[in-house]
Structures are given as structure tokens and as C-alpha cells.
């Protein structure tokens, strides 16, 4: 089922059916593939990993910032990745360079971030889940909208965070919708820069602490800076 049809279906699901993230653990891998370089999924291509575990054969380097060259998968604008397990031996998980669909992607042990959204357009993250994220699971550095539906998070700092200090933040419009997410052993579901106009909508999520945390974001085009917490959103 493609992401648009999944979203249309979920719109008709009664609100009583909250927090639908799968709680049965990471699916059993059908095999393991260690990549020497990122695997690119081209524009318009759909790649079904058939529940193989993919990694890069390297140990995580903690919260040190990596780049595209360190990713396991790189999705070009309009690409779709589905039914995949990202193993622990990697640094940067999945990068999305524009609009993309990430369907039923599981992360056994998040390194710096699980999913980095780098471009413009709408990203749909449907199902799947992530474990052991010391900070963020989904990092939104690009501009545009993100749908996060029926995701599962266990042991995390933030499920979604819009970039707090990226260059161009003052002119980059970001929004997120989070629905049916199940989160345990963690902090914030959503973190957005309320002072910069980021928008968040959310419904039917289960979480232990904060659903939406506002931040005072900044734009390091004018020099180094760091965001600070604001009120709830």
C-alpha cells in the first residue's frame, strides 16, 4: 500500500484507535547486507528491501555529525523505500533529498539520527520504528512538510526535531503532522521552532512526557548560535 493511500485510510480510522505503532519488536531480518557506500534510490523508484538488514559495516561514532557519504540509503526526490531494517553498524541511517516515502523502516540502534530530511517537499514516514536514539530520530533540516504515521519509538530523546540552527532557518518553512505514534522511554515527540513559524499538528499519540516542545530557533548564517527551549506547542 502506498503512503497516500495509507494516509487516506487512516483519516477514516476512528479516533479511539490511538497509538498504532507496532509494539512487537523489530521484524526478523531475512538477511544482512553491509554496504561499502550509500545505496541511492533514484527519483520515482520504489525499492522494497524485503526485510533485509542493511548497514555500513562501521561502528557508530555517537553524536558527531556525519554526512551523506555515511548514510545507508539516500533517497532522491520522489523515491520510496519500504520494508527495511537498518542495523547498528552505521552512522547516518536514511537521508532524504526531497519529497520521499519511507514505509516500514526499522532502526535497531540509532546512531546520530535515524532519518535526515535534507530537501524540499513532503516526506511520508509510515509505520516502522526506532530504538536507542540518544538524541533525535527524525531530523528535519530541509523545508516542507513531514507526515509521521503509526511509528514506534523506544528509548529516544526526540522523535522529530526541526533544525534549531540551520543556515537559512529564517526563510525555511517547516511543518509536521504526527498521528498514531507509540513512544516509550523517551522525551519529546515533536520539537519545532515556534519563533520561526514552524507548525505542528498531532493526534492519537501515546507518549511518556512531552508531545510538542517549542524552541527559539536561530539561523547560523549570521554566526554560530544554539536554540533554546520555549513553551509547549
List pLDDT tens digits, range 64-89. 667 999 999 999 999 999 999 999 99
- Does a structural domain hold residue 103? yes
- Read off the pLDDT of residues 18-59 as tens digits, 9 standing for 90 and up: 899 999 999 999 999 999 999 999 999 999 999 999 999 999
22 in a domain, yes or no?
A: no
For residue 23, being part of any structural domain is answered with no
Contact of 29 with 171, CB cutoff 8 Å: no
How confident is the model at residue 63, as a pLDDT? 62
Residue 194 has pLDDT above 60, yes or no: yes
118 occurs within a structural domain: yes
Does the residue 19 lie in any domain? no
Q: Is residue 106 domain-resident?
A: yes
pTM listed for this prediction: 0.92
- Which pLDDT band holds residue 120 (cuts at 50, 70, 90)? very high
| pLDDT of 184 higher than 70 | yes
In a domain, 89, yes or no: yes
- Give the CATH number for residue 122: 2.160.20.10
Across the strands, what pairs with 73?
39, 94
Query: Regarding beta strands 122-126 and 144-149, do their DSSP bridges make them parallel or antiparallel, or are they unpaired?
Result: parallel
Domain count, the chain: 1
48 domain residue, yes or no: yes
Residue 123: burial class (beta carbons within 10 Å; 0-12, 13-18, 19+): buried
Q: Could you tell me the residue range of the domain that residue 192 belongs to?
A: 39-232
Amino acid at each position: 500500500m502506498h503512503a497516500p493511500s495509507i494516509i487516506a485510510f487512516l483519516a477514516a480510522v476512528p479516533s479511539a484507535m490511538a497509538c498504532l505503532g507496532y509494539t512487537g519488536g523489530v521484524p526478523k531480518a531475512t538477511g544482512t547486507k553491509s554496504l561499502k557506500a550509500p545505496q541511492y534510490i533514484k527519483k520515482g523508484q520504489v525499492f522494497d528491501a524485503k526485510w533485509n538488514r542493511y548497514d555500513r559495516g562501521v561502528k557508530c561514532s555517537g553524536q558527531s555529525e556525519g554526512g551523506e557519504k555515511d548514510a545507508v540509503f539516500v533517497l532522491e526526490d520522489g523515491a520510496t523505500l519500504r520494508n527495511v531494517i537498518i542495523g547498528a553498524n552505521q552512522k547516518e541511517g536514511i537521508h532524504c533529498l526531497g519529497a520521499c516515502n519511507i514505509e516500514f523502516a526499522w532502526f535497531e540502534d540509532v546512531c546520530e539520527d535515524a532519518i535526515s530530511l535534507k530537501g524540499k517537499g513532503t516526506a511520508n514516514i509510515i509505520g516502522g520504528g526506532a530504538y536507542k536514539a540518544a538524541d533525535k530520530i527524525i531530523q528535519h533540516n530541509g523545508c516542507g512538510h513531514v507526515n509521521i504515521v503509526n511509528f514506534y519509538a523506544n528509548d529516544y530523546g526526540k522523535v522529530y526535531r526541526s533544525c534549531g540552527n540551520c543556515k537559512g532557518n529564517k526563510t525555511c518553512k517547516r511543518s509536521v503532522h504526527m498521528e498514531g505514534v507509540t513512544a516509550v522511554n523517551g522525551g519529546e515527540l515533536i520539537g519545532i521552532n515556534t519563533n520561526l513559524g514552524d507548525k505542528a499538528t498531532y493526534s492519537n499519540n501515546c507518549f511518556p512526557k512531552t508531545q510538542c516542545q517549542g524552541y527559539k530557533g536561530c539561523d547560523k548564517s549570521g554566526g554560530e548560535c544554539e536554540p533554546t527551549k520555549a513553551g509547549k506547542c
